[in-house]
Amino acid sequence: MIKMQSKFKETEIGSVPEEWDVFEFGKIAKLSKENYLPRNGVELCYIGLEHIEQQTLSLNSIGKSSKVTSVKSKFTEGDILFGKLRPYFRKVYRPNFSGICSTDIWVIQAKPGIDQGFLFYLIASEEFIKRASGGSGGTRMPRADWNHLKEELWPIPNNINEQKRIAEILGALDEMIELNQRINDTLEKIASAIFKHWFVDFDFPNEQGNPYKSSGGKMIESELGMIPKEWKVGKLQEIIQIQNGFAFKSEDYAKNGVPIVRTTNFTNRSITMDSPVYLTKKKAKEYENFYLNTFDFLLVMVGASIGKWVITPSHILPALQNQNMWNFKSKKDVTKFYNIELLKILVNQQANTASGSARDFFRKDHFYSLDVLIPNDKIVDIFERCVTEIFKKIDSNLSQIKNLSQIRDSLLHHLMSGKIRV
C-alpha cells in the first residue's frame, strides 16, 4: 500500500519520516575489492564502462574476459556496479550473473540490515549521482571519491521490510522495461532473419509462394557472385543519400525548444535524450534540412565511437542532426526498412575490415562506391510490407521504455526521500 503522507521528524539533513534514521553511506555500504587476473582457458563475463548504458540502469552488451589482460575486479550476482569515472553519466547496473569488471567500476555491497535492492536504487538516484559528481577528483576525467561519499548522510528506513518494498516497486518497473527491451531484441532478430533468408540466401517467395532458390529459381553471375535473375549489382549511391550533420554553435543553445541529437545521445541501437541541448523553435527553422525523421539510420563516422549506429525513434522528435554523424536517407521511401537491414551488414563489414592501427573516420566516397545488391521492386515491396509492423512495434516499445523510465526515476526520488511511503 502506498501512503502519500506520514509523520516526520527533524534531523541534521532536514525532515525524514519518524520510522527512518540518518546514516553515513559508509555505515550501510562497502566496497568489494576482490581482484582477478584473466587466465587462458577460463572465460568469464566481462563488464567495462563501455558495456553499461548511460542513465538507463541497463547494459548494451557483455564482453569476454579473454579479450582483456590486466587485473580486473570480481563481482557476483546481485552486486552493485557503479562507474566511478565521470559519475554524472550514471552508469549503474546490478547484474544477475557473476563475472569481472573494469577497475573503473566500483563493486558495492550492502552491509547487514540494509537490503541490497534498496541500496541499488539509492545509488542510482539523482541525488547520489549529484553527490558522487560533486565530490569527484580530477578535472578532465573526474572520478567519484569513496572517502568523500562514505561520509555523506542518507535517510534510511529502519525496517528492512520497508526497504524491500521500495526495491520491489522500483524493480517491477525495471522488469517491465527489461521485458520491452527483450521483445525489441527478438523483433530485430526476426526482421534481420527475414532479410538474410530473402536477400542473402535468396529464398524469398516466388510467384507461387515457394522459396525462390530452393525451388530452382534461375541464378546469374555478378560481381557479388550468383544472384537471382532480374536482380542487379549497383553502388550504394544509387539507393542511398548520405547527409552530414551540422556543427551547431554552443552560443545558440537554449534552455528549451528543439533538441539536438549528438553522438553522446547514442545508446544501444537507439537514442536517449539525456542532458539535451536545444535551439529555440525560431532558430531551428534555419536548419530545416537537418530535421530527423522516424527510422532514420544514423552512423558515427569519426572519433572514438566510430561505427556506432542507431535508428531514430519517434518519441525524440522533432530533433536536429548534429555533426560527426551521417544520416543515410533512402532515395526511395518504399525501401526504408530494406536499406536499414542492408546498412547494418555494410557498417559491420566496414568496421571489421578497417585497416591500419587506428581508423579515425569513414569516407563518404568510399561508402558510396560500395557494391550492393539491388533486387527487383516487387520483392522489396513485399519485404517492406512484411516488416513494417515489426519496426512500428519496436518504435512503440521504445516509447514505452522512455515513459516507464521516467515514472521509475520520479518514483525513485519520492520513495528515497520518504515523501511517498509503502
Q: Please indicate, yes or no, whether residues 130 and 259 belong to a single structural domain of this protein.
A: no
Which ranges of the chain have pLDDT less than 70? 1-6, 137-140, 352-360
359 domain-assigned: yes
The CB density around residue 220, as the number of other CB atoms within 10 Å, is: 11
Residues 291, 389, 189, 202: is their CA dihedral positive or negative? Answer: negative
364 plus 246 within the same structural domain: yes
- Asked if residue 26 and residue 120 are part of one domain, the reply reads yes
Residue carrying C-alpha cell 553502388? 235
What's the CA gap between 253 and 85, in Å, rounded? 27
Same domain, 152 and 278: no
Quick check: is 172 in a domain?
Answer: no
Q: Indicate the SS3 state at residue 278.
A: strand
- Beta strands 320-321; 258-261: pairing state: parallel
What is the structure's pLDDT at 360?
A: 61
Per-residue confidence (pLDDT) for residue 269, from 0 to 100: 84
The residue out of 126, 158, 190 marking a domain boundary is: 158
Q: Are residues 253 and 369 in the same domain?
A: yes
pLDDT at position 271, please? 92
Number of domains in the chain: 2
Residues 239 and 369 in one domain: yes
Query: Residue 90: its pLDDT value, please?
Result: 95
Both 139 and 246 in a single domain? no
pLDDT in tens, 291-345: 999 999 999 998 878 899 999 999 999 999 999 999 999 998 779 999 999 999 9
CA distance 195 to 335: 12
- Its domain, for residue 115, covers 20-158
Edge-to-edge strands, sheet with 105-110: 29-31, 105-110, 80-83, 92-93
Element (H, E) at 163: helix 160-199
CA 379 – CA 198 distance, rounded (Å):
9
Report pLDDT digits (tens) over 162-196: 999 999 999 999 999 999 999 999 999 999 999 99
Nearest to 386 by CA among 249, 193, 251: 193
Cell of 67: 579479450
C-beta of residue 411 within 8 angstroms of C-beta of residue 169: yes
pLDDT at residue 356, rounded to an integer:
37
- Helix then strand then coil, in percent of the chain rounded to 5, is 40, 25, 35
Nearest-5° Cα angle at 384, 180 to 288 = 80
- Answer whether 322's CB lies under 8 Å from 245's CB: yes
Q: Which residues does 309 contact at the CB level (< 8 Å), separation at least 6? A: 266, 269, 297, 298, 299, 300, 343, 344, 347
DSSP label at 241? E
Is there a domain that residue 382 lies in? no
Residue 5: predicted pLDDT: 56
**What's the rounded Cα separation, in Å, for the pair 323 and 310?**
15
Is position 45 within any domain? Answer: yes
Average pLDDT, the chain: 92
The span from the CA of 227 to the CA of 171, in Å, is: 50
In a domain, 398, yes or no: no
One domain, residues 263 and 137: no
The distance of Cα 242 from the centroid of its chain, to the nearest Å, equals 24
In a domain, 88, yes or no: yes
* Whether residues 135 and 244 fall in one domain: no
User: Do 147 and 253 sit in the same domain of this protein?
Assistant: no
CATH number at residue 251: 3.90.220.20
Q: Half-sphere exposure (CA, 13 Å, Cβ side) for 189?
A: 6
Residue 10 lies in a domain: no
Q: What is the pLDDT of residue 135?
A: 74
Do 321 and 239 sit in the same domain of this protein? yes
CA-nearest of 287, 307, 288, 289 to 298 is 307
d(CA 105, CA 132): 13
CB 65 within 8 A of CB 37: no
**Of the residues 132, 158, 184, the one at which a domain ends:** 158
Q: Which of 336, 356, 374 is the last residue of a domain?
A: 374
* Same domain as 151, residue 47: yes
